[in-house]
Structure 1
C-alpha cells in the first residue's frame, strides 16, 4: 500500500507475525490503529482522541491548523481523559500504598499483629462465648477497601505488584488518571463484595488480587476495542483463573468479582459515545457502586438475620 504523501515512513522491521504494523514510537507494539492525520500506526499509549478517530502525539503538538479552540484540540486519551506527562503516576502511587501498608504490618508484628485484624475483610466471626458480629457485618464497610491493600506474604505482594506494574501503565495511558483510579478501586471493591457474599462467615481475606484481576479484564476489553490479537491476554486470563481454582487458600471469589467489575467498567469507558462520554462514564461507575452496595447489603442481612 502506498504511503500517504508527506507522511513519515514506517520502520522497516515494524510488522509483526500477525501482519499488523508496529507503533511508530514503539515498534515492538503491533497496532491496527493509525493517526488520522499522518497515517502512522499508533499504540494505546500514543493515541490522542480527536474529533474523528485518533491522532499521534507529534500531530497534536503540531496543531490541527483548522482554527479549533485550544479546548477542542486538547490532547485526550482513548477514553477521553487528559493526557498526562507521566502516564504511570497512579500506578506508582498504588504500588507505594501497597508497599507502605505491607511494611506497616511487618513493623507492627507481621500477619499476626492487630493491624490486619482491624483492616481485613471479615463478616461474622466466632467468639468462644457467643457469635459476635464484627467487621463489615457490623457496619465497618471500610474493610471492603482496606483489605485491598493488605498482603500476608512477600510472595503474595510481589506477584500482585508485578502484575500491577505490567497491566497498570497501558491502561492508565489509555483511560487517563481519574478513570484508571476508578477502575482499580471499583475492581477491588467488586472482589471484596463477592468474597464477602460467598466466603465462609468467619473467613478473613485480604490482598489486591481482586483489583489486579479487574485490570486483567479491562486489558482484554481494551485490546478487543483496538482490534488487537486477543490470544495472549486470553491465555494469560485462563492461566490465572486455573491457578485461582486449583491452588488452595486462594479467595477465588475476590478474583472473579474483580474480573467481572473491571471488565464491565472498562467496557463502559472505552465504548461510550464520544458526544456523551463523560455522562456514560459517570453512569457506569455509579451502577458499579450500586451493585457492590447491593451485594454487601444482601449479605449483611443474611448474617444479621
Structure 2
C-alpha cells in the first residue's frame, strides 16, 4: 500500500516533507520562513508579527514610547514663545488679558482678576504661558528644555503634559491664596514642578541625587533672594509636581494607571480648593 503524497497547503501541486513548527501544516521550500527552531508558514509569521506589534513598548512610568520623545516640550516652548511675541507686538494689552490678577482691578471700566468671577479663572492657566522680559523667558525656556525633555522621555507625553499643567496650576493657586494683590506671570511654577518630579524619579531609580539637589537648592536660593520673584508660585509648583511624581514613580505595577491618574486628580482637587479659599478670602 502506497503512502499518500503530502503537498504544500498553499501550493497543492508541490510535494513536501516539511511542516510548520507552529501549526504543523505542510509547506514547500518557497513558503518556508526560517524561525529560531525549524520553519514556519507565512500565516504564522504574520500572526507572530502582529502579536509583537500589539505589545507596545512603555516608558519608566508606563506611558507609550513616542517616536519623538520631546514633542510636548517643543510645543510648550513654542506656545510660550508665541505669547511672548504677542506681548512684544501688542504691548500691555496681552499682559492685562492673560496675567494672573487676584484682586478685582478696574481696567477700561471692567473688573478684571480671579476674584471677579469664574469667567476670570482662566488666568490661573494663561499666566503660566506669559512672559514680558527677554531674560525671564530665556531662562525659563532653557530650564524647560534641559529638565523637561528628559522627563518627558521618562513619563510619556500624556503624563508629562498633566504634570506640567498641574504644576503650573498649583503655583497659580498658591499665589492667589498668599499674594493676591500682585500681578504674577511666567512658567516658573510649572518648571519648579518639573524640578521636583526629576528629584523624585532620580531617587526612585537610585541615581546620584547630588546634581539635582544642587540645582534645586540654587533655584530656591534665587527664589528667596532675588527681587520681583513670586516664591509662592515656585513653591506651589514644586509641591504639586513632587506629589504627582511620587504617585507616578511609586505606583504599584498592577494598579499603576489608576494610582497615577488618581494622584493627578487629587492634586487637581486640592488646587481647586486652594483657589476657592483664595477667592473667598479676597471677596469676604
Larger helix proportion of the pair: 2
1:107 aligns with 2:89: yes
Runs of 4+ deviating beyond 6 Å? none
How far does residue 285 in structure 1 lie from its aligned partner after superposition? 0.8
Give the aligned partner of residue 47 of structure 1: none
Corresponding residue to 2:131 among 143, 151, 159: 151
Please provide the CA RMSD for this pair.
2.0
C-alpha spacing 1:79/1:68, structure 2 compared with 1 (3 Å): farther
Give the aligned partner of residue 102 of structure 2: 123
Give the aligned partner of residue 76 of structure 1: 58
Runs of 5+ in structure 2 lacking a partner?
1-47
Query: What's the CA shift string for 1:121-171, capped at 9, x where partnerless?
Result: 11114559x9x9631112211100000000120000000000001011111
How far does residue 73 in structure 1 lie from its aligned partner after superposition? 3.2
Give the aligned partner of residue 230 of structure 1: 209
3-state SS, counterpart of residue 124 of structure 1: coil
* Equivalent-residue separation in structure 2 for 1:75 and 1:218 (angstroms): 22
Runs of 5+ in structure 1 lacking a partner?
1-65
How far does residue 72 in structure 1 lie from its aligned partner after superposition? 6.8
Deviates further, 67-76 or 84-93? 67-76
Matches within 5 A, 1:17-56: none
How far does residue 281 in structure 1 lie from its aligned partner after superposition? 1.4
* Equivalent-residue separation in structure 1 for 2:137 and 2:94 (angstroms): 16
Give the aligned partner of residue 290 of structure 1: 269
Answer whether contact 2:105 2:113 (CA < 8 A) is retained. no
Give the aligned partner of residue 189 of structure 1: 169
Corresponding residue to 2:146 among 159, 166, 180: 166
> Max radius of gyration: which structure?
2
Corresponding residue to 1:86 among 49, 68, 72: 68
1:134 aligns with 2:116: no
* Equivalent-residue separation in structure 1 for 2:100 and 2:246 (angstroms): 28
How far does residue 67 in structure 1 lie from its aligned partner after superposition? 11
How far does residue 68 in structure 1 lie from its aligned partner after superposition? 11
* Equivalent-residue separation in structure 2 for 1:236 and 1:167 (angstroms): 10
Query: What's the CA shift string for 1:191-217, capped at 9, x where partnerless?
Result: 000011101x32110000000100000
C-alpha spacing 1:67/1:102, structure 2 compared with 1 (3 Å): closer
1:268 aligns with 2:250: no
1:253 aligns with 2:229: no
How far does residue 282 in structure 1 lie from its aligned partner after superposition? 1.4
How far does residue 269 in structure 1 lie from its aligned partner after superposition? 0.6
C-alpha spacing 1:238/1:218, structure 2 compared with 1 (3 Å): same
Answer whether contact 1:84 1:176 (CA < 8 A) is retained. yes
